Amino acid sequence: MKAIFKRELKSFFLTGTGYVFLGVFMLLSGLVFFINNVLARSSDPGGFFSMVSYIWMLLSPIPAMRLAGDRKQKTDQLLWTSPVSSSKVVLSKFLAALTVLLLALVLSLIYPALISVYGEVYLPEIIAGYLGLALHGTAFLAFDLMISSFAGTPASAYVLSLGANLLLWLSGLAVSSVKPALIRNVFALIDIYNRFVPFSMGLWSKANTMYYLLFSTVCLVAAMRLAKGRRWNPL
């Protein structure tokens, strides 16, 4: 499993996918920081955290589509014929993608550092916000990895994942407007956007933390089951 993790992490940067993800993330997050904090001359990171949570919706399919990339190049057959279980293969891919995502967050720490130079920074608020971003990004990544299991090419994996992310966003918007209680409860169950609100306000939420971890686990287990079925029926 460790060897597969290293292979996947290395491939992110050999193929340029990792650089694209990090570059686009820093470009978009830098623009958000400039508008919400520099132009507004504000030291409040709440708006920055809120907008970055939407950036995940656009970018999380990029590392997740690596699963479909292996399938297109037929390199996934090498993994399926290895003595490592399909669950460990999927977990290794997920951890490699998560490492790239967390690296993006580490690079973005330059923004609160800049705020601290010219204003006051409340450290617990920054910690809560970044913890929320990490959990939110993890949930998106696990979800998109599951969606990518249905795609045959990286392009189709990205389109499917982005569409699924948009559906999650729309379900969150529908929670307050749908009248039937049953449908409203279903939408609330998969609403990963509104659960980020406490974190963006600098508040740590134990319930929402557990939700993100459970959501990610369910998606990963589903991706593992799909990978296991493909292992024994690659066509």
Residue 78 has pLDDT above 60, yes or no: no
Confidence check: pLDDT of 96 > 60: yes
Q: Which residue has the higher pLDDT, 200 or 178?
A: 200
CA distance 155 to 77: 20
- What is the distance between the alpha carbons of residues 179 and 187, in angstroms, rounded to a whole number? 11
Task: Return the number of other C-beta atoms located less than 10 Å from residue 228's C-beta.
Answer: 16
Average predicted confidence (pLDDT) for the chain: 82
Task: Quote the pLDDT of residue 121.
Answer: 82
pLDDT computed for residue 235 by the predictor: 47
Query: How far apart are the C-alpha atoms of 186 and 8, rounded to whole Å?
Result: 35
- Once rounded to an integer, what is the mean pLDDT over residues 112-139? 89
C-alpha to C-alpha distance for 104 and 21, rounded to whole angstroms: 8
CA nearest to 146, candidates 60, 74, 19: 60
| DSSP at 35 | I
End-to-end CA distance of the chain: 25
